[in-house]
Copies of this chain bind each other. A is one copy, B any other.
Amino acid sequence: MQFLKVKNVDEVLEILNSLEPLPSEIMELGSACGRVLATEILAPEPVPHFDRAVMDGYAVRAQDTFGASEALPALLEIAGEVSMGEAVSRQIEPGKAMAIPTGGMLPAGADAVVMVEYTYPLDARTVEVTRTVAPGENILKRGEDIPVGEILFPQGWSLRPQDVGMLAAVGIDCVAVYRRPRVAILSTGDEIVPVSTPVLPPGKVRDINSFTLAAQIEQFGATVSYLAAVEDRLEALVDICRNAFQEHDVVVLSGGSSVGMRDFTVRILGAFADAELLVHGVAIRPGKPTILARIGKKIFWGLPGHPVSALMVCRALVLPSLAVLEGRAGTDLAQDHGSTLFGILANQLPSVHGRTDYVPVALARDGEALLVRPIFGKSAMISVLGRADGYLTVPAHVEGLDQGSRVRVYLFSR
């Protein structure tokens, strides 16, 4: 296996962008929100399917109302009533009108609706219209909302609630979407014990990373299996990885963060004949000892063991890789995961050229301004992230940010 030099974030994202999406599957519309379309979708029928009233009132021929006013109303003969949800066979002849509810089907011949506020029935057969309506007024023409054959969504579009509504409107009740990545999460390290351990033995720590990584990846929308923490033993790790790849597309191993661990992870990969090491160290802080490999079509991430480093690398790199696997088109991989806002940096923030820094920050209001305060703390402290509302990045080509700079904050979502 070939050893590689440390890559910068853009180089890693470029590698991720070249990954192939997973196969597609058919999903019922009711479960399709948040999923990514594997094909372009055209409207198989128009919406609405018929000329439709969008106000309560009278369906009329617009020209019969021309010149009508309070002072000089038009008198129209009431030719009946349109019932909601029913076909109308009758035609509107000149000088006639039909009562119609919002959503009702416009009778043939009618081309507008006079709102009920501008009508006064004189008797059962005659209605006074006190306002002129233009052709098309207060109606939705067949196909005016969605024309038949229109491209509703491109391939790679991820469906929002209203998009699901558009599909429902045109009668599409199943869609082809990319399969969601199945991710196995492993923690390793001789010092790691399960969270449920009643009394923590000296020298041991509880397994934080399995929980934070699983929660972050599930929040993103992938399917997560949480595999038990395993000791730092090569054969055990190779076995568990081999099993994990049977049922998962991605294995995320967070390892001890000592110097030797990175090479240890590479030795795990060495046990797989078709493993291809893509990234061996990334120029980011925290998270430098990050490893990315491809094993056939499967993806292997080796993350640092520090909880803060592991979670930040998950946000910065692992989620983007899952987005590519799920076929999200045109994703700005570095930025699209979670929401962002802009604020004013409250402190000077030093940084080293050639490395992208991910800095946890807390937000505070200062009058109109939003203050962004970096949270300094030893990188091993999970409480640094607990106190953070989000993080900012200092790009590799920048040597620190000045107090008062306008900075973009990536929010941690709930």
Q: Please tell me which one of the listed residues B49, B232, B342 contacts residue A200 in the complex, with CB atoms under 8 A apart.
A: B49
Cβ contacts under 8 Å, A88 to chain B:
202-203
Contact A168 B208 (CB under 8 A): yes
Which residues of chain A in 61-94 are interfacial with respect to chain B, using CB atoms and an 8 Å cutoff?
Answer: 83-88
Contact A169 B103 (CB under 8 A): no
Please give me the residue from chain B that is nearest to A170 by CB atom. Answer: B206
Q: Does A238 contact B (CB under 8 A)?
A: no
Q: Please tell me which one of the listed residues B45, B56, B87, B203 contacts residue A105 in the complex, with CB atoms under 8 A apart.
A: B203
Contact B311 A145 (CB under 8 A): no
Interface size class of A (residues with CB under 8 A): 35 or more
Q: Please tell me which one of the listed residues B102, B146, B167, B382 contacts residue A169 in the complex, with CB atoms under 8 A apart.
A: B382
Cβ contacts under 8 Å, A276 to chain B:
none
> Can you show 15 pairs from A to B with CB atoms below 8 A apart?
A45-B200, A49-B204, A50-B203, A87-B201, A105-B202, A140-B381, A145-B382, A158-B414, A165-B386, A166-B383, A167-B211, A169-B208, A171-B197, A171-B198, A340-B341
Interface of A is mostly: loop
Interface string of A144-167 (1 = CB under 8 A from B): 111000001000001111111111
Q: Which of A3-11, A17-25, A27-35, A349-357 contacts B (4 or more CB under 8 A)?
A: A27-35
**Whole-angstrom CA separation of A383 from B255 in the bound complex:** 48
Distance from A108 Cβ to chain B, minimum over Cβ atoms (Å): 11
Cβ contacts under 8 Å, A311 to chain B:
161-162, 165
Q: Which of A188-196, A244-252, A295-303 contacts B (4 or more CB under 8 A)?
A: A188-196
Which residues of chain A in 210-251 are interfacial with respect to chain B, using CB atoms and an 8 Å cutoff?
Answer: 210-216, 218-219, 226, 232
Q: Which of A127-135, A256-264, A397-405 contacts B (4 or more CB under 8 A)?
A: A256-264
**Whole-angstrom CA separation of A191 from B260 in the bound complex:** 69
Q: Please tell me which one of the listed residues B85, B163, B213 contacts residue A192 in the complex, with CB atoms under 8 A apart.
A: B85
Contact A412 B162 (CB under 8 A): yes
Residues of A within 8 A of B (CB): 29-30, 33-34, 45, 47-50, 52, 54, 56, 83-88, 101-105, 116, 140, 144-146, 152, 158-173, 189-192, 195-198, 200-216, 218-219, 226, 232, 256-260, 305, 307, 311, 338-342, 378-383, 385-386, 388, 411-414
Contact A85 B219 (CB under 8 A): no
**Whole-angstrom CA separation of A146 from B215 in the bound complex:** 21
Please give the count of copies of this chain that the complex contains.
2
Cβ contacts under 8 Å, A144 to chain B:
378, 381
Distance from A133 Cβ to chain B, minimum over Cβ atoms (Å): 14
Contact B256 A84 (CB under 8 A): yes
Q: Give me the 8 closest cross-chain CB pairs, A-B, nearest first.
A: A339-B339, A85-B191, A87-B202, A33-B215, A162-B385, A85-B190, A165-B212, A161-B215
Distance from A155 Cβ to chain B, minimum over Cβ atoms (Å): 15
**Whole-angstrom CA separation of A260 from B380 in the bound complex:** 63
Contact B226 A30 (CB under 8 A): yes
Contact A206 B161 (CB under 8 A): no
Contact (A189, B87) CB under 8 Å given A33-B218, A196-B173, A378-B140: no
Q: Please tell me which one of the listed residues B103, B212, B305 contacts residue A189 in the complex, with CB atoms under 8 A apart.
A: B103
Q: Please tell me which one of the listed residues B33, B86, B102, B219 contacts residue A219 in the complex, with CB atoms under 8 A apart.
A: B33
**Whole-angstrom CA separation of A88 from B202 in the bound complex:** 8
Contact A161 B85 (CB under 8 A): no
